[in-house]
């Protein structure tokens, strides 16, 4: 494995996708240091004792410099971001500051230390409302909210840094991250929780009174929105492969991470009822502004460039582990953070 001995800095590594990726990387014997401010992350999501968790901000250049001096990182995987689309519309500056301006400070330190490998957690939100389906990397990138815009700006910054000082990057455009580690040790715990599968499970356990479904009159087979749900462990695998591709001298890449399979809201409700044996209380409401009828990836480029294919394509493979986590001893929640900056 090229450059596998150089430590890796993972920002936002105590978050949902970050923690699953850290667990995979640590399991592969890589040296990982996590930098997370624990605003949304959980210290208990770092389950490997050999992984160092540093509590702090990506934009704290003094801290980041000290970490680079100590560890001489060979690569950075950047997850740290705010990801509430609705909030980005009402508070855009918060998103541009955190998702765009802070990573610039990180990149400045990387340039100082000659670290030229960067794996970036991007999003299908950079495409906006798709001009064609399935979505390929040649689709127009025209975000319809500041969240998608803030991520697209970083993609452009990374391309400019490649031209200017040889930074090689992988921009991984996720579709709908879902599921969790099958052993139920780590999982998905957002506050507030906006993702569909956890919300359906919360309706089953009674944590919320009912699931609200926005729109049943879309031009889809059952009238509800269709999305491409990608297992979080498959996302983690793509990050490891992107790291290896770049560490081996590979060129910068931009690719979609999805299954290529579209699943409707009603199909997820059915899968949850089948796996839990319980009925989901549902309230059907009108469409929500800005929700496209269907978002499905064409993941062919990730296979071609990174040798990556989603190993789980059946929605039950995402719902099953999520239910193990939700019905487990902590009820799908991490204990309060104990680690301090």
The two tokens of residue 53 are 């968790």
Report whether 119 contacts 246 (CB < 8 A): yes
**Structural contact between residues 241 and 306, judged by C-beta atoms closer than 8 angstroms:** yes
CA distances from 83 to 95, 130, 235 (A): 8, 20, 17
Residue 75 vs residues 32, 61, 69, 82, 278: alpha-carbon distances, Å: 10, 17, 14, 22, 45
Instruction: Decide: helix, strand or coil at residue 229.
Output: strand
| Nearest in space to 228 (alpha carbons), one of 164, 294, 146 | 294
Question: Is 147 an active-site residue?
Answer: yes
Q: Which structure tokens are listed for 298? A: 């064409």
Name the active-site residue from 16, 127, 147, 174.
Answer: 147
284 forms beta bridges with 213
Q: Which of 8, 1, 258 is nearest to 134 (CA)?
A: 258
Catalytic residue ranges: 147
């Amino acid at each position: 494995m090229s450059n596998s001995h150089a430590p890796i800095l993972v920002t936002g590594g105590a978050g949902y996708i970050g923690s699953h990726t850290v667990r995979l990387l640590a399991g592969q014997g890589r040296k990982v240091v996590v930098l997370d401010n624990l605003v949304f992350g959980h210290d208990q999501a770092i389950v490997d004792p050999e992984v160092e968790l540093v509590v702090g901000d990506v934009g704290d250049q003094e801290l980041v410099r000290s970490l680079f001096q100590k560890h001489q990182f060979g690569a950075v995987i950047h997850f740290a971001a705010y990801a509430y689309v609705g909030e980005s519309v009402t508070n855009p500056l918060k998103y541009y500051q955190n998702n765009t301006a802070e990573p610039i400070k990180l990149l400045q330190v990387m340039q100082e230390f000659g670290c030229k490998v960067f794996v970036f957690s991007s999003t299908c939100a950079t495409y906006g409302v798709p001009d064609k389906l399935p979505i390929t990397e040649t689709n127009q990138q025209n975000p319809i909210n500041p969240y998608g815009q803030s991520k697209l700006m970083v993609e452009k910054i990374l391309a400019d840094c490649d031209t200017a000082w040889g930074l090689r990057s992988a921009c991984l455009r996720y579709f709908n991250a879902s599921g969790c580690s099958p052993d139920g040790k780590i999982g998905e715990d957002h506050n507030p929780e906006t993702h569909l599968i956890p919300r359906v499970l919360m309706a089953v356990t009674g944590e919320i009174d009912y699931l609200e479904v926005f729109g049943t009159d879309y031009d889809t087979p059952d009238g509800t929105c269709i999305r491409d749900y990608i297992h979080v462990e498959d996302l983690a695998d793509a990050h490891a492969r992107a790291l290896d591709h770049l560490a081996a001298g590979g060129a910068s890449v931009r690719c979609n991470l999805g299954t290529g399979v579209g699943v409707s809201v009603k199909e997820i409700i059915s899968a949850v009822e089948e796996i839990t044996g319980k009925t989901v209380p549902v309230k059907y409401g009108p469409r929500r502004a800005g929700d496209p009828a269907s978002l499905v990836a064409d993941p062919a480029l990730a296979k071609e460039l990174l040798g990556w294919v989603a190993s789980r394509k059946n929605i039950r493979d995402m719902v099953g582990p999520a239910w193990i986590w939700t019905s487990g001893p902590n009820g799908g929640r991490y204990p309060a953070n104990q680690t301090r900056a």
